[in-house]
């Protein structure tokens, strides 16, 4: 089994709902984004357009972050999810240096979103799940998967640009899309073999 | 990415230490410069201890480092293992030397120490050879680090030789001088090779173009730190020392050379981090 995701860039509108759903579900502190949308201008006037690239941990089949982690804090689960054991992380940032996708963040400070009001009850509960000085990242919402739900970003995406499932199961929608739509893996030349695929945007 | 200062000083001081001990190993094998061996080994141990201590400042949870003992196959695991081995061998050598053990026993220890020192000098650079950071993804880096270590260690030994003026002998001083000059020329070569790599490397992100070093926002630390302080000044001092053997200001000149080499070592490491932007996933 290997969990994976296919993102159809033709459907993505850059609304950032995935970013917010991730923050809400994982309670990531201010300044930490496990899911985000990169916005880039492409082409030249009058044929210019805005390119939206949703980014998250690629849960690589051959993860560089796991290879360099000196304590075993970064590890790969049997279902392909690349996870972090917060209690083993020493905060050396080797994984951050080794990750080509900028998917990891070291938590060096926890501040309320509205400093003048202090921490809200939600922030107190949500932020307490994160250790200071350790590295965090997307885990495909592993806790939701255990409940039989999809990752928060997949469920939330308004234009349904994200498809999630088992890449090893030929019957699954993601495996079908990966086989039929010729999606692209980011920086595949590095050899990380990401489990997140992108169906390229086609200008019409 | 941001400059990781604890790691800059960790690699600088540890490099100095292993290189100084390598020089002591060579003097032990050649049977020369007996008077500087203890000072050289002690300096190596202190430098490595300081470097190791500074590396802990980089970590948020240093007490969890015991987990590394299960992952010696990783770059940081290898570093930790080599520091432990080399440090222990330096300490053992100091004990053997102080207790007056035979030259044969000392040679065995320094030989092992020389191997682990060279491995560590390269490993400290090899850890940065990462495909995710195109400006680091070259095997020139371990050579840049090793050359920097060689230069600082040789100048450290030079200082001890100069401080113990008269007891080392002119032949030995000339030998150290030549070795330092060769190390400096090698360092210049590795930096030039790296610049050529930057020019030819894939993913030509403007943040890591060689022109930033040559004429851009990083030209001052490059020309001032790496080239002038790190290469021109030490080369000038080495040539000057060669011409002025036995002069009474010998020590001061060697100290200036080491300071220059240290500034150069700091500058090249700091520039490495500044150039180390991630590969662009959207091409």
Pairing status of strand A162-166 against strand A3-8: antiparallel
Half-sphere exposure of B193 (CA within 13 A, CB side): 15
User: Looking at residue B251, what is its pLDDT?
Assistant: 77
Q: Is B155 exposed, middle or buried (0-12, 13-18, 19+ CB in 10 A)?
A: buried
Residues of chain B with Cβ-Cβ distance to A133 below 8 Å are 60-61
DSSP structure class, residue B209:
-
Residues B64 and A133: beta-carbon distance below 8 Å: no
User: Looking at residue B247, what is its pLDDT?
Assistant: 57
Residue A133 domain-assigned?
yes
Domain span at residue A125 reads 3-199
Residue A95 domain-assigned?
yes
Q: What is the distance between the alpha carbons of residues A153 and A84, in angstroms, rounded to a whole number?
A: 20
User: Looking at residue B65, what is its pLDDT?
Assistant: 85
Domains, chain B? 5-275 (1.20.1630.10)
Q: CB distance B64–A99 less than 8 Å?
A: no
Q: Tell me, what CATH number does A11's domain have?
A: 3.30.70.20
Q: Which residues contact B2 (CB under 8 A, 6 or more apart)?
A: B273
How confident is the model over A51-98, as pLDDT tens digits?
A: 999 999 999 999 999 999 999 999 999 999 999 999 999 999 999 999
Residues of chain A with Cβ-Cβ distance to B60 below 8 Å are 89-91, 106, 108, 132-134
B158, two tokens: 């030079």
Pick the residue of B130, B269, B275 with the most A CBs within 10 A to test the interface with A by mutation. B130
Distance, C-alpha B85 to centroid of its chain: 18
Pairing status of strand A196-199 against strand A3-8: parallel
Q: Is B93 exposed, middle or buried (0-12, 13-18, 19+ CB in 10 A)?
A: buried
Residues A149 and A33: beta-carbon distance below 8 Å: no
Neighbouring CB atoms inside 10 A of A200's CB total: 11
What is the mean pLDDT of the segment spanning A12-36? Answer: 94
Q: CB distance A89–B131 less than 8 Å?
A: no
Helix (H) or strand (E) holding B116: helix B103-126
Residue A41 domain-assigned?
yes
A26, two tokens: 């994982």
The torsion angles phi and psi of B227, rounded to 5 degrees, stand at -80, -55
Report the mean per-residue pLDDT for chain A: 93
Residues B114 and B22: beta-carbon distance below 8 Å: yes
Rg of chain B (C-alpha set): 19
User: Looking at residue B252, what is its pLDDT?
Assistant: 79
User: Looking at residue B203, what is its pLDDT?
Assistant: 66
pTM for the whole thing?
A: 0.89
Among the partner residues A69, A93, A190, nearest to B132 by beta-carbon distance: A190
Among the partner residues A40, A91, A98, nearest to B132 by beta-carbon distance: A98
Q: Describe chain A by its helix, strand, coil percentages, rounded to 5.
A: 25, 20, 55
What is the mean pLDDT of the segment spanning A137-153? Answer: 95
Domains held by chain A: number: 1
User: Looking at residue B245, what is its pLDDT?
Assistant: 66
Residue A204 domain-assigned?
no
Residue A203, pLDDT > 90, answer: no
Neighbouring CB atoms inside 10 A of A33's CB total: 17
Report yes or no: A36 at the B interface, CB cutoff 8 Å.
no
Q: What are the start-end ranges of the E strands in B37-102?
A: none
Residues 94-113 of A with CB under 8 A from B: 94, 97-102, 106, 108
Pairing status of strand A36-42 against strand A105-106: unpaired
* Residue where the block lists tokens 């709902």: A17
Confidence band, pLDDT 50/70/90 cuts, at residue A18: very high
The residues of B whose Cβ lies within 8 A of any Cβ of A are: 1, 4, 58-62, 64-65, 67-68, 70-71, 74-77, 80, 127-128, 130-133, 276, 278-279, 281-282
User: Looking at residue B244, what is its pLDDT?
Assistant: 75
Q: CB distance B68–A55 less than 8 Å?
A: no
Residue A163, pLDDT > 60, answer: yes
B278-to-A19, A111, B125, B211, B275 alpha-carbon distances in Å: 21, 27, 18, 18, 9
User: Looking at residue B211, what is its pLDDT?
Assistant: 82
Identify the CA nearest to A35 among candidates A188, A151, A133: A151
Identify the CA nearest to A151 among candidates A14, A1, A19, A8: A19
Report yes or no: A53 at the B interface, CB cutoff 8 Å.
yes
Query: What is the distance in angstroms between the Cα of B64 and the nearest Cα belonging to chain A?
Result: 6
Residues B262 and B152: beta-carbon distance below 8 Å: yes
Residue B53's DSSP bridge partners are: none
Q: CB distance A70–B133 less than 8 Å?
A: no
Query: What is the distance in angstroms between the Cα of B41 and the nearest Cα belonging to chain A?
Result: 29
**What does the longest C-alpha to C-alpha distance in chain B come to?**
65
Pairing status of strand A135-136 against strand A105-106: antiparallel
Pairing status of strand A3-8 against strand A135-136: unpaired
DSSP secondary structure, B122-189, as one string:
HHHHHTT--TTSTTT-STHHHHHHHHHHHHHHHHHHHHHHHHTTTTS-HHHHHHHHHHHHHHHHHHHH
* Residue where the block lists tokens 């509108």: A13
Query: What is the distance in angstroms between the Cα of A67 and the nearest Cα belonging to chain B?
Result: 7
Could you read off the pLDDT tens digit of each residue along chain B, which spans 283 residues?
A: 889 999 999 999 999 999 999 999 999 998 888 888 999 999 999 999 999 999 999 988 989 988 988 889 999 999 999 999 999 999 999 999 988 888 899 999 999 999 999 999 999 999 999 988 888 888 999 999 999 999 999 999 988 888 876 666 777 778 888 899 999 999 999 999 998 888 877 666 777 778 888 888 888 999 999 999 999 999 988 888 778 765 556 777 888 889 999 999 999 999 999 887 777 777 6
Q: CB distance A87–B60 less than 8 Å?
A: no
Among the partner residues B61, B80, B131, nearest to A133 by beta-carbon distance: B61
Q: CB distance A100–B132 less than 8 Å?
A: yes
Q: Is A43 helix (H, G, I), strand (E, B) or coil?
A: coil
Q: What is the distance between the alpha carbons of residues A157 and B139, in angstroms, rounded to a whole number?
A: 43
Residue A26 domain-assigned?
yes
Helix (H) or strand (E) holding B22: helix B5-30
Residues of chain B with Cβ-Cβ distance to A64 below 8 Å are 130-132
Residues of chain A with Cβ-Cβ distance to B127 below 8 Å are 68, 94
């Amino acid at each position: 089994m290997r969990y994976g995701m296919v993102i159809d860039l033709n459907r993505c509108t850059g609304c950032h709902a995935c970013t917010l759903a991730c923050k809400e579900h994982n309670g990531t502190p201010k300044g930490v984004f496990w899911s985000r949308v990169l916005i880039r201008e492409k082409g030249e006037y009058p044929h210019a357009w805005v390119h939206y690239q949703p980014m998250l941990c690629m849960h690589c089949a051959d993860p560089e972050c796991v290879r360099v982690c000196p304590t075993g804090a970064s590890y790969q689960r049997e279902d392909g999810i690349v996870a972090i054991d917060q209690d083993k992380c020493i905060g050396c940032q080797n994984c951050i240096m080794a990750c080509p996708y900028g998917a990891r963040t070291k938590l060096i400070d926890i501040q309320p979103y509205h400093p003048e009001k202090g921490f809200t009850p939600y922030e107190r509960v949500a932020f307490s799940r994160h250790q200071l000085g350790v590295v965090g990242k997307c885990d495909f919402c592993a806790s939701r998967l255990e409940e039989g739900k999809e990752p928060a970003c997949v469920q939330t995406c308004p234009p349904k640009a994200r498809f999630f499932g088992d890449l090893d199961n030929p019957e699954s929608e993601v495996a079908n899309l990966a086989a039929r739509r010729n999606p692209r893996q980011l920086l595949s030349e590095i050899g990380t073999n990401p489990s997140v695929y992108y169906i390229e945007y086609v200008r019409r | 990415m941001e400059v990781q200062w604890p790691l800059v000083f960790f690699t600088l001081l540890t490099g100095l230490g292993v290189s100084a001990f390598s020089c002591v190993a060579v003097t032990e094998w050649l049977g020369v410069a007996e008077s500087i061996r203890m000072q050289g080994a002690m300096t190596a141990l202190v430098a490595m201890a300081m470097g190791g201590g500074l590396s802990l400042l980089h970590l948020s949870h240093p007490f969890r480092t015991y987990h590394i003992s299960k992952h010696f196959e990783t770059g940081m695991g290898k570093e930790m293992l080599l520091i432990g081995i080399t440090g222990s061998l330096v300490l053992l050598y100091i004990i053997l030397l102080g207790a007056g053990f035979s030259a044969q026993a000392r040679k065995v220890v320094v030989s092992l120490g020389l191997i682990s020192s060279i491995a560590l000098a390269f490993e400290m650079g090899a850890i940065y050879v990462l495909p995710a950071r195109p400006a680091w993804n070259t095997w020139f880096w371990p050579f840049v680090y090793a050359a920097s270590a060689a230069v600082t260690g040789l100048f450290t030994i030079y200082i001890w030789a100069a401080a113990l003026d008269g007891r080392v002998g002119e032949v030995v001083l000339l030998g150290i001088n030549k070795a330092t000059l060769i190390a400096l020329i090698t360092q210049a070569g590795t930096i030039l090779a790296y610049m050529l790599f930057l020019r030819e490397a894939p993913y030509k992100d403007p943040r890591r173009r060689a022109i930033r070093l040559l004429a851009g926002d990083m030209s001052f630390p490059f020309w001032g730190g790496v080239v002038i302080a790190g290469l021109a000044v030490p080369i000038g001092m080495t040539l000057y020392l060669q011409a002025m053997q036995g002069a009474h200001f010998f020590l001061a000149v060697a100290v200036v050379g080491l300071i220059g080499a240290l500034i150069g070592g700091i500058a090249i490491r700091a520039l490495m981090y500044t150039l180390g932007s991630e590969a662009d996933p959207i091409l």
